[in-house]
Structure 1
């Protein structure tokens, strides 16, 4: 090959403008769309579970308070019943009954005094 021919081949190559091709570079997403959906779903489930747990704890606490109030009322009523039973027993004492009878002018015919509950014996 001759030198001139080689130069003629090289010159058009050197003088040819370079074509610039624009290439779109797709950036890789850090989190894919499917992962976003899964994370959103998991977050929603966690939030719903938390709300349910708080609601359940609140209703349990309210129920426990109601139970404590009822137990306190039952205790007070039992105490009042015991006091009334003791007072009824005290008021039904035969000596007391005889004393009230004498104060009101009643006379005792028999020397034996029996309680009403023991009459059948």
Structure 2
């Protein structure tokens, strides 16, 4: 009987090992290593492009801001220049010049006056 029991036991072990071998399944990977590398490279390019795009937009914003500051200072200088032109035209009136000349003791001799026309 012991031989029969041993054969039966060996048979059961053989069936178990066959069942265990058939149960072991190989996992199929979702992506191959080559596809993973290509994906990483593509993701790197996308990230690099996004950073470049954002940095370019920041530089454009800064340049536009500088342009607006310069335009504001130009407008201010134009306003100052126009105010000074008005002041020059007021101070260069004939009556005012004649009055200042009389205050300094100068007299008007009409024979020595030469008329100059501006174009």
Bucket of the pairwise TM-score, normalised by the shorter protein: 0.7 to 0.9
Larger relative contact order (C-alpha < 8 A, sep ≥ 6)?
Answer: 1
The structure whose residues are more often helix, as a share, is 2
TM-score, normalising length: structure 1: 0.73
State the 1:44 CA deviation. Answer: 0.7
Correspondence for 1:25: 25
- What is the TM-score of this pair, normalised by structure 2? 0.74
Q: 1:111 to 1:72 in 2, by over 3 A?
A: farther
* Unmatched 5+ stretches in structure 2: none
The aligned counterpart of 1:105 is: 105
SS in 2 for 1:25: coil
Query: Matches of 1:70 and 1:100 in 2, distance apart?
Result: 41
Deviations 1:49-72 (A, max 9, x none): 110011000100110011001111
Rg larger for: 1
Partner residue of 2:47?
47
